Structures are given as structure tokens and as C-alpha cells.
Amino acid sequence: MMDKRLRDVIDSIDYYELLKMKQDLDTGGHHLRTFINKEIENRQREHSVSCSTCGSHIEPSSPNTQTLIFGSSDFKKKATFCGKDCLSYFLSKTEEMKKGQMPKTMNIHDGNQP
Ligand SMILES: [Zn+2]
């Protein structure tokens, strides 16, 4: 994702949209507030994940969080881990998976659905 600041966003909005935003803000900013609330909700849902190995809740901002995307391009899987230990445990388990033993404790998300 691009790291855009509000300044950049405002710069890139066309004049008509800006007028609409100003009008909205002048009347209490309800539209903008709803819009932002929805976006925050969406992103929190996106980040509300648990570790694929140990199941503990993952803090999205934690520097220890590891995300692994694997599988073929049309069948992507995403796994998130609370730390490197859980990631390497998972990788050792995927070796077993290749041998046909699907570990039951794994909780793997579809890459397109958080
Ligand atoms: Zn873990």
C-alpha cells in the first residue's frame, strides 16, 4: 500500500470533490465521518487475525508479526504469525503437509478473505 499523507490526498482530489467535502464539513461533516468510520472498521477487520500456529491474537502494529502468502496465484493462502518461532514451526509443518499429513491445528485463511 502506498504511504499517502492527507496532504497528498487533498492535492489529488479534484476541485468539485473538494467543494463537496467543504460543504459536508460546513454542515457537520456527517458524510466524511461515516466514510472514515467505515474505512477504519474495514481495516481493523482486515487486521483482526490470530496466529496460524498458536492461535494467539495478533497485534497488527507489532514488529514481531510475520505474514506468509503461499500457494498458486489463483489459490493464494495467507498465514499470519505472532513471531518467528511460530513461522518456522509452521514452515516445518508445511513440509509434513507435502508428505500428505495435514496438521489439524492449523488455521489458514484464504488469501483473499482476511
Ligand atoms: Zn504464535
CA of 45 to the centre of ligand 1 (A): 19
What's the burial of 45, exposed, middle or buried (CB within 10 Å: 0-12/13-18/19+)? exposed
Q: Are 30 and 37 in contact (CB under 8 A)?
A: no
Any idea where the domains of the chain sit in the sequence? 6-46, 49-110
Residue type, 6: L
CA of 107 to the centre of ligand 1 (A): 11
CA of 80 to the centre of ligand 1 (A): 8
Q: Are 52 and 59 in contact (CB under 8 A)?
A: no
CA of 47 to the centre of ligand 1 (A): 15
CA of 57 to the centre of ligand 1 (A): 8
Q: What is the pLDDT along the chain (114 residues), one digit of tens a residue?
A: 557 888 998 899 999 999 999 999 999 999 999 999 888 887 777 666 788 899 888 877 788 888 888 877 777 778 889 999 999 999 898 787 777 655 555 556 555 545
Q: Are 30 and 24 in contact (CB under 8 A)?
A: yes
pLDDT, residue 71, reads: 79
pTM listed for this prediction: 0.45
